[in-house]
Amino acid sequence: MRAICSRREFLLGTGLLAGSALLGACQVAPTAAPATQAPAATGVTVPTGAAKVPVLYWQYMTDIESVEVEILKEFAAANPDIELTWQWIPWQEYWTKLNASLAAGTPPDVWNTAPTYYYDYILRNQLADLTDLMKQNFKIEDFHAAALSGYDFRGKYYGVPRNIVTECDYFNIDLFEQAGVEPPPLDGNWTWDDHLEKAVGVVKFHNKGDKITTFGATAVMNFGWWLGYVMIGNGCEWAKNFSRDLVGMELDLTSEPCVATVKYMADLIHEYKVAPAAGEFAGQGDPFLTGRLAQTWMLPWALGAYKDAPFKWDVTLPPKGKAQQVTYGGADGLVLSQASKAKNEAWRLMVWLLDWKTGRAFMENTGSIPPLKNEETIKAWAAKYEGKNINAVIASCDIAINRYCLGYGELVSTITTELENVFLGTMSPEEGCARATQVGNEKLASILKQYEEAIKGAA
C-alpha cells in the first residue's frame, strides 16, 4: 500500500539528504555546556549522590541530527537531575520500532510524530493527556490554529506542535522574466485562472515545436498534502461531517467543485501541456532545481533547499479558489508516552525543544515556521530568509487548514491512488472522483471497524 509522502521522501527529492543516518543511541556526558551557548538556568539542583531520572527521546528527522544534538546537550547540562539519551531512527524504520517498543511496554518517554500517525495511539491509551500542562505553560490562542489543529482530539491535547508547515507557490523569476510574463504576485492576490495564464505564457516562449522541455506549472497529484485543499478552496468539502475519530464522517468527491478541480489539474498536463507528466524528471532530483519548471508547490523546507539555486526565485501564496483562499497546514509534534515513568522530566524536555530561546536551531535549520504567534520569534526566524517574500510564508499560516483524522495516511493514499488514473489519462475526472469516493468510503469503514471498540471506550 502506498503511504503518504514523508518528510524524508521530500528531502530525498530535493537533495537535502546526503546519506542515510545510522540508528544509534547517544548519551551526554555530565559536563557543562560551553559558556557561549549556556541556556538560562532552570533552578534545578541535585543532592549529592542522588540518582538521575532517565529520559529517552526518539526522533525521525535524521537530516537534522547534528543540529538537534546540540540542543539536547544544552538541555542535559541545564538539567543535571536528568539522564538524557536519544535515538535518531530513519522514517522507514521509525514506526515499526516505535510500535514494537510500545507493545513491549518500553517506549521512549518523548517522541516525534505528526497527525498522520497520532490518533490510533490515543485510542490505544499510549499517549499522555497534555491538556492541563499545555494550558499551564502556554496560552492556547498563541499557537497558530493550523499548528495546533490536528493535535486536538475530543477536546483534549495529546501532543504539542513543534512547528507549522504550509504549502506555498515557489516560482522561478528568470523563466517568467525571459518570457515577458509577470511573475505570480507577491501579495497573493491572484486566481487559478491567472495561474494557468502565466503557465501558458512561459511554455509558449521557452518551447519550440512539439517537444515540451520547460514547464510553467505543476499538476498537484497528492491528495493529502495539497489537492484535497485546493478542492476545499474551490468549494468542495469532501469530508462531510468531518470528525477526527471518523464517527459520522463520509467522503464525497463527486460534487462539481471537486470534479472541476481534478479536471483543472489533469488539463495542465494533457490539454494545456504546461505541467510535466509523471516521470518527466525521474532521476534528476528536485524538478524545480533543474531550471525547467516555472512553479512548484512546496512546504517551507524549500526555503533551505532552494537557497543556492542557480536562478532567481521567490515565493507567494497559492491562488484564490472560487470559494476561498486556503492552503494545507500541519505540524510535526512531540508526544509523551503514557507508560513513561518520568512524565515531569519528559515535559521539561518538551518545553525546552519548543521554546524559541532554547530550540530555535531546529526551526532555523528545517525551514519550518515557529508554531507560536510571537512577533519577536517570527521576526527572528524570518531574518534568515532576507531578500525573499517571507511574509507570504508567514501569511499562509492564517489561511492554512487540515483534515487530519484517524487513519489519515491510509485514507488519503487510497484516494490519491484512484485519482492518479485521471492524471495518467486512463480515467475521466468524473470517473476518477466517483471511484475515489467509493474506495475512500470503503477504507473509512474499514478503519472504523478496526478501532470500533477503542472509539466506543474513548467516547
Report pLDDT digits (tens) over 375-401. Answer: 889 999 999 999 999 999 999 999 999
What's the pLDDT band for 366 if we cut at 50, 70, 90?
A: confident
109-151 pLDDT, tens digit per residue, is: 999 998 888 999 999 999 999 999 999 999 899 999 888 988 9
E-assigned strands of 230-332? 239-240, 250-251, 295-298, 313-316, 327-330
Would residue 393 count as lying in a domain?
no
CATH number for the domain that contains residue 278: 3.40.190.10
The x, y and z cell numbers of residue 66, run together, are: 547534528
Dist. CA 27–CA 212, nearest whole Å = 54
* Percent over 90 (pLDDT), the chain: 77
The confidence score (pLDDT) of residue 459 equals: 57
The confidence score (pLDDT) of residue 47 equals: 55
Dist. CA 354–CA 362, nearest whole Å = 9
Would residue 193 count as lying in a domain?
yes
Report the side by side order of strands in the sheet with 313-316: 295-298, 168-172, 313-316
Domain with 171 in it: 167-329+407-458
Would residue 154 count as lying in a domain?
yes
The x, y and z cell numbers of residue 452, run together, are: 470500533
Would residue 453 count as lying in a domain?
yes
Looking at the fold, whether 171 and 158 belong to one and the same domain comes out as no
What's the pLDDT band for 160 if we cut at 50, 70, 90?
A: very high
> Mean per-residue pLDDT for 231-255?
97
Looking at the fold, whether 251 and 152 belong to one and the same domain comes out as no
Would residue 188 count as lying in a domain?
yes
The confidence score (pLDDT) of residue 364 equals: 86
> Mean per-residue pLDDT for 226-238?
97
The confidence score (pLDDT) of residue 316 equals: 98
Would residue 252 count as lying in a domain?
yes
Looking at the fold, whether 259 and 204 belong to one and the same domain comes out as yes
Would residue 237 count as lying in a domain?
yes
The confidence score (pLDDT) of residue 22 equals: 28
Phi, psi (degrees; rounded to nearest 5) at 283: 80, 5
Looking at the fold, whether 319 and 368 belong to one and the same domain comes out as no
Looking at the fold, whether 379 and 450 belong to one and the same domain comes out as no
**CB-count exposure of residue 149 (10 Å: 0-12, 13-18, 19+):** buried
417-427 pLDDT, tens digit per residue, is: 999 999 999 99
Dist. CA 402–CA 331, nearest whole Å = 10
> Mean per-residue pLDDT for 237-246?
95
Looking at the fold, whether 182 and 158 belong to one and the same domain comes out as no
pTM of the model: 0.87
Looking at the fold, whether 356 and 440 belong to one and the same domain comes out as no
Q: Kindly report the average pLDDT of the chain as a whole number.
A: 88
Looking at the fold, whether 17 and 149 belong to one and the same domain comes out as yes
Overall number of domains in the chain: 2
Angle at 328 between CA 356 and CA 114, to 5 degrees: 55
Would residue 424 count as lying in a domain?
yes
8-67 pLDDT, tens digit per residue, is: 343 333 333 322 222 333 333 322 333 333 333 344 455 555 789 999 999 999 999 999
The x, y and z cell numbers of residue 279, run together, are: 516521470
Looking at the fold, whether 255 and 381 belong to one and the same domain comes out as no
Looking at the fold, whether 159 and 227 belong to one and the same domain comes out as no
Looking at the fold, whether 222 and 352 belong to one and the same domain comes out as no
Looking at the fold, whether 32 and 127 belong to one and the same domain comes out as yes
